[in-house]
Structure 1
């Protein structure tokens, strides 16, 4: 297997505090305040509808950020009742036109089992392989973005140049396998999927960015948006020709634990979702 730059394993911390029942210090301690709560579901059908709606919202958010590039780009979320199946955006439908009614459900062999549209071949090869190899991964995002693709040509990880970048410190990997070769053959999928153990993001050399979440499609989508911004910031700093002052490893780890978790990704996306709900009511058609 080709050389891959992998972040080292790290200890698990509880940044919210010992035995508090809170998963983040950002959750209010004062009762009665308006604050997003992670939903619970009585049935698989309820959870399925929720995941599909958030998948559509993630696609619309990608459109807002200009992440479209023809038919390239694919977002997936595992079905809650049938975990061997995953929901994804339809082939050749712009991110801004994805809605609940045109989502498709596919299996790990690339067969569409529900929906009218075709499946993106490259999306199936990469995403199905990751979902199959890592049963804990709930959702995954990939798009051909300007800054992420540019940074991916460098074949190296992000540096902790800011608090935002520290969210990915020791929590992303640079994959060199299959670098620059479009993933349309099934054999390419496992070569990429192998590297997603224990990290939320990957920079695929000469290709672009990928994020994966064990929590939700909202978390995967937000961390993709954040990773693209970090690549843009890194390139902007490097364009100055000056060496940036890096955040120390200790402070980077502290920031990552408080602002780089799956929960924080989910929490960030709630503001995006509310804005989309107010401006794009056709999402759920």
Structure 2
């Protein structure tokens, strides 16, 4: 009889010795910093592949492991597809660039800095102006559990109405939004778009953003039929969220994206 290995998720193999992604453990803050930087770059590249760019809009952040009051983010006015290790910037909660040559996105600083400062447990955060997420945000309602995929956000996202549709360039706007992120991984900001966060990794935050955009697209397609969908019942939606909506699963979903990017876009590490 095979010995069972300790698992965080039912998706992890019970049989030992099989190839399967493992959450890394770091011996030094420097190694963890490099890891977070590389995955931040990969998350930006993944957003480019998904067509989630819109001019200079869109900002992804991850805390520095040694200096948690600072966070790494993509540079202002650089396309997601051109983000690499050398053009990342390190920013404090006041919006000052501590390391790097590029300016910070003002709206990104206002929103992300407020959330990072108010929630020390949040490691990473993503926001972009996407076609379906922005369209769905105009409805001012939560995503329904219309599918197993959508169920991962059941009771795990909020609709934020404060400052909806107003460009977030004043610091007070970020403070009004930050409180909404208690205990959830995603938010739909009315008339603005989608935001995701993670207490685990930038990989999880990025994948759940991609997933939320996809679910918004599906919801809009179903709504366009004029036929009321059959919803996943609450107990089954919670069951699906528990097993396929965790931070770990978000991280795991990102691993094949990472593998593809490493092979096809080696300039990420320039």
State if a TM-score over 0.5 links the two structures: yes
Kindly indicate whether residue 161 of structure 2 is the aligned counterpart of residue 176 of structure 1.
yes
Kindly indicate whether residue 186 of structure 2 is the aligned counterpart of residue 201 of structure 1.
yes
Counterpart of 1:70 in structure 2 is 55
Q: How does 1:1-285 map to 2 (within 5 A)?
A: 21-285=6-270
Q: After superposition, what is the alpha-carbon deviation per residue over 1:208-238, rounded to whole angstroms, capped at 9, x for unaligned?
A: 0000000000000000000000000000000
Q: For structure 1, list consecutive stretches of 5 or more residues without a partner in the other structure.
A: 1-19
TM-score, length of structure 1 as denominator length: 0.93
What is the SS of the residue equivalent to 1:173? strand
Give structure 1 regions of 4+ aligned residues with deviation exceeding 4 angstroms.
none
TM-score, length of structure 2 as denominator length: 0.98
Aligned length: 267
- Whole-Å separation in 1 of the counterparts to 2:267 and 2:177: 35
| Alignment RMSD | 0.9
Q: After superposition, what is the alpha-carbon deviation per residue over 1:102-150, rounded to whole angstroms, capped at 9, x for unaligned?
A: 0000000000000000000000000000000000000000000000000
- Whole-Å separation in 1 of the counterparts to 2:81 and 2:110: 24
> Offset of 1:21 from its aligned partner?
3.6
> Offset of 1:22 from its aligned partner?
1.7
What is the SS of the residue equivalent to 1:187? helix
- Whole-Å separation in 2 of the counterparts to 1:228 and 1:23: 26
- Whole-Å separation in 1 of the counterparts to 2:7 and 2:187: 28
- Whole-Å separation in 2 of the counterparts to 1:244 and 1:69: 31
Q: After superposition, what is the alpha-carbon deviation per residue over 1:235-285, rounded to whole angstroms, capped at 9, x for unaligned?
A: 000000100000000000000000000000000000000000010000011
> Offset of 1:76 from its aligned partner?
0.0
- Whole-Å separation in 2 of the counterparts to 1:87 and 1:243: 43
Q: After superposition, what is the alpha-carbon deviation per residue over 1:176-205, rounded to whole angstroms, capped at 9, x for unaligned?
A: 000000000001001001100000000000
